[in-house]
Structure 1
Amino acid sequence: MSRITLGSVFVGGALAVTAAALAYPSLLGVQKTSSDGARVIAHTRFGPLTEADRNFVVAVRAAGLWEFPSGELAVKKGTTEAVREAGRHLIIGHAALDASCRKIAPELNITIPNQPSPQQQGFLVTLQSDTGKQFDSDLANILRVTHGSIFSTIAKIRSTTRNTLVRQLADQANDVVLDHITQMEGSGLVNFDQVNAQQTNPQKLPSDQVTPPVPQSGVPMVVLTPPPGVSADGIPTGPAAPAAPAAPSGSATVG
């Protein structure tokens, strides 16, 4: 497989609203779009839910679906202790974020993916095929680009959302993503010139390459569970989203 060209990720787009759930049929990925992320798409007991809010929940879930297994690869294949430790942080951090996404998605009537986007799957394939020092370098640089790209999005969501559950997820994501950025940089392998260029000038890709597939009906939800032997000691995971209060009536009104 040819080397993946990196782009920044997690910027939402114009997404359709269905009666059953707030799904995400297009444009969740590298390219910035002209969509009005501030448009309210649902009124919930946790506050208004905007397009940007919904895109953020989907993006956090999709990130974990490829970065968690990337962490497992790092623990097994990393040639240095720093890379293996970074892998441990990826596993624990994304397991915690995933638990929060799975907890709040039904409360907000958001459909979340069961697979990462094709672009994200490509990143994972690259890491699966890498060996030795090439694996170490690709892990550090790919993950530094993706985490650096969502970092500013987290800040924007945290400062603008009026939805309490989305705000709590942003708080948690801020802690976890900053930790992962620090881990990638601590490997000593990040090419900052290349990473900054890729974050500043993201590659334009078709929407079908940057959108996670909508999950098939009846298929069990993927749960990210750390494997035995991977300790969470000393790894920041942020404040987990608390259990939501019981709804007095319907959980969300689609607007």
Structure 2
Amino acid sequence: MRITRNAGTLFVTGALTLTLAALAYPAMLGIQTTSATSVAVIANPSSGPLTEADRDFVVKVRAAGLWEYPVGQLALQKGTTPAVRTAGQHLVSGHAALDDTSRKVAKTLGITLPNKPSPLQQGFISTLSADSGSKFDSDFANILRITHGQIFSVVAKIRATTENTLVRQLADQANDTVLDHITVMEKTGLVDFNYVIVQETSIPKVPAVNLTPPPPQPGEPEVVLTPPAGGASLPSAGASLPAPGASLPVQPSPTPTVG
């Protein structure tokens, strides 16, 4: 992943506005093919017709969690303000819940899911892993605000068009989660809307190889994003933030388990 600033604009190469191509497993996730997403019906389960776009959406939810969950853990560990740590807590809890739903939906509908994020998404993790201090806080808030802003419209389109009840339920949950994450990023006070909005609407093309999460290998354990210890509930995005210096729990790294 490459982040550059030019004339006051932050360019993050790539996005989470993703489109997949293959039937059993995605060949590509990339914003440049969003408009060409097929509505062809690929299966007719009891939950309703399943289109290519429906299948792709389930994979997008899984792929998003595979990089945003560990980034949320980084925010809990490295965030220098209560607002950044709160945003990290929301990422961890939100994507643990979405991951559980997406894996159940995928199993029911026969959709193959990745166990690792795409090279681009791994780049986001690497960038934020290398950051520290206020630079981490700023990059975290702006990268996550950009990617959530991009995926927000994708969730809405799926919710408006899918005929599959399971995909519809996942889209409802994803819509609430993405809006929550957008809100907590904005509450950090670090989002620069001048370049975030530009980035959301003018994304450079990225090679397909960088946008595709690797397919699971035969016999590879399924990675499960575990919920916070004790199942503690999160405050709403509009709730008051913890007082300065308040600590938030740090979750262990995702442990590969057979699900």
- The answer for the alignment partner of 1:73 in structure 2 is 74
1:234 deviation in Å?
Answer: 2.7
Letter in 1 for 2:57: F
- The answer for the alignment partner of 2:18 in structure 1 is 11
Over aligned residue pairs, what C-alpha RMSD do you find? 1.8
1:203 deviation in Å?
Answer: 1.5
1:119 deviation in Å?
Answer: 0.3
Letter in 2 for 1:172: Q
1:29 deviation in Å?
Answer: 2.7
Distance 1:228 1:46 in 2: 33
Q: Where in structure 1 are there 5+ consecutive unaligned residues?
A: 237-255
The answer to whether the Cα contact below 8 Å between 2:16 and 2:64 also exists between their aligned partners in 1 is: no
The answer to whether the Cα contact below 8 Å between 1:8 and 1:146 also exists between their aligned partners in 2 is: yes
Letter in 2 for 1:39: A
CA deviations 1:129-173 (Å, max 9, x no partner) are 000000000100000011111100111000000000000000000
Distance 2:29 2:106 in 1: 17
Q: The residue matched to 2:33 in structure 1 has which SS?
A: coil
- The answer for the alignment partner of 1:134 in structure 2 is 135
The answer to whether the Cα contact below 8 Å between 2:17 and 2:30 also exists between their aligned partners in 1 is: yes
1:23 paired residue among 18, 25, 34: 25
CA deviations 1:60-118 (Å, max 9, x no partner) are 00000000000000011000000000000000000000000111101111001100010
Superposition TM-score, scaled by structure 1 size? 0.85
- The answer for the alignment partner of 1:164 in structure 2 is 165
1:188 deviation in Å?
Answer: 0.4
Say if 1:229 and 1:142 are closer, same or farther in 2 by CA, change over 3 A.
farther
Q: What is the identity percentage for the equivalent residue pairs of Structure 1 and Structure 2? A: 59
Distance 1:3 1:233 in 2: 31
Letter in 2 for 1:121: Q
Distance 1:10 1:215 in 2: 22
- The answer for the alignment partner of 2:115 in structure 1 is 114
1:33 deviation in Å?
Answer: 4.6
- How many equivalent residue pairs? 230
Q: The residue matched to 1:197 in structure 2 has which SS?
A: helix
The answer to whether the Cα contact below 8 Å between 1:36 and 1:51 also exists between their aligned partners in 2 is: yes
Are 1:123 and 2:129 counterparts? no
Are 1:206 and 2:207 counterparts? yes
The answer to whether the Cα contact below 8 Å between 2:19 and 2:33 also exists between their aligned partners in 1 is: yes
Q: Residues 51-70 of structure 1: matches in 2 within 5 Å?
A: 51-70=52-71
Does 1 or 2 have the higher relative contact order (CA < 8 Å, sep 6+)? 1
- The answer for the alignment partner of 1:182 in structure 2 is 183
The answer to whether the Cα contact below 8 Å between 1:93 and 1:235 also exists between their aligned partners in 2 is: no
Letter in 2 for 1:41: I
Q: Where in structure 2 are there 5+ consecutive unaligned residues?
A: 5-10, 238-259
Runs of 4+ in 1 over 4 A off after TM superposition: none
Letter in 1 for 2:53: A
The answer to whether the Cα contact below 8 Å between 2:90 and 2:234 also exists between their aligned partners in 1 is: no
- The answer for the alignment partner of 1:241 in structure 2 is none
Distance 1:77 1:96 in 2: 23
Deviates more, 1:68-77 or 1:31-40: 31-40
Q: The residue matched to 1:114 in structure 2 has which SS?
A: coil
1:211 deviation in Å?
Answer: 1.0
Letter in 2 for 1:204: K
- The answer for the alignment partner of 2:247 in structure 1 is none
